[in-house]
Chain A
Amino acid sequence: GENVEQHPSTLSVQEGDSAVIKCTYSDSASNYFPWYKQELGKRPQLIIDIRSNVGEKKDQRIAVTLNKTAKHFSLHITETQPEDSAVYFCAATYGNNRLAFGKGNQVVVIP
C-alpha cells in the first residue's frame, strides 16, 4: 500500500511569517494529493489539493507544490495568522480511491 511521511511533526512560526510542511509518498501510481486542516476537536477539512498532472496550485495564502520525480509534495502558508494554528494532514491516493494519510503536523502561529 501507500506510505506517506510528513515532516516536521511540530512547526512554530511568528505571525506573518511563512510555514512549509513537506510530505513524501511511496506509490508512484498516486495521482491525487489533498491537504486537510484539523482544528482541535473538529473534523478534518480539505483546504487544498493537487493532481499529478499539475506542479503547483495556489489559493490565496495557501499553495501546494508537487514533485512527482522525487515523490514529494509541500504545503506553503504565507502571511500566517493565529487562525492558521491547527494540525495539517497530507494524503495520497492508492488503489480504489483510498487515501493514505501522514501522521500530521502541528502548526503553532505565535502572535
Chain B
Amino acid sequence: NAGVTQTPKFRVLKTGQSMTLLCAQDMNHEYMYWYRQDPGMGLRLIHYSVGEGTTAKGEVPDGYNVSRLKKQNFLLGLESAAPSQTSVYFCASSPGTAAKNIQYFGAGTRLSVL
C-alpha cells in the first residue's frame, strides 16, 4: 500500500515548455487535490476533484489544467510554464465523506522554471 505517489520528484523546465505531473493513489479515495507550496505562503489549492471524471478550480488555478480520467489518478498540466510557477507541488487524496475528510499527501514535486 503506497498511499499517494507523485512523479516526477524533481523537474527543471524552460519558460514556455509544457509538462504533466502525475498523482496516483491506491486507497480508493474519491477526492483528490493539487496544491502548490511557496515560502511563507502555506499550501494553496490549485484544482481538485470530487470523483472520477470531475474537476474544479481552487484558489490559484490560472496557468494549470487537470484531468481525472481514472479514479486513482489526478494529472496536473502546465501548458506553457512561467517562472512564477516555480514551486513545490503536492497532491493529496481524501475519502471525501464528512466523517473521514482527512487528506493524505504525496511526497511532492519540486519544479523550477527558468
Q: Using a CB–CB distance below 8 Å, which chain A residues touch chain B?
A: 1, 6, 31-32, 34, 36, 42-46, 49, 89, 93, 96-104
Contacts and interface: CB of A to CB of B under 8 A. Distances in A.
Residue from B41, B42, B45, B105 with most neighbouring chain A CB atoms (10 Å): B42
B25 to A, nearest CB: 13
Contacts, number: 49
Main secondary structure of the interface of A (DSSP, over half): strand
8 contacts: A1-B59, A46-B103, A89-B42, A96-B56, A97-B50, A97-B96, A103-B40, A103-B41
A100 B45 CA distance: 8
Contacts of B96: 97
Contacts of A42: 107
A57 B32 CA distance: 27
B34 to A, nearest CB: 12
A103 B101 contact: no
Contacts of A97: 31, 50, 94, 96, 98, 101
A1 B57 CA distance: 13
A67 to B, nearest CB: 21
Residue from B44, B58, B96, B105 with most neighbouring chain A CB atoms (10 Å): B105
A89 B41 CA distance: 11
Contacts of A43: 90, 105-108
Given A98-B58, A103-B40, A104-B42, A44 B102 contact: no
B102 A103 contact: no
B43 A89 contact: yes
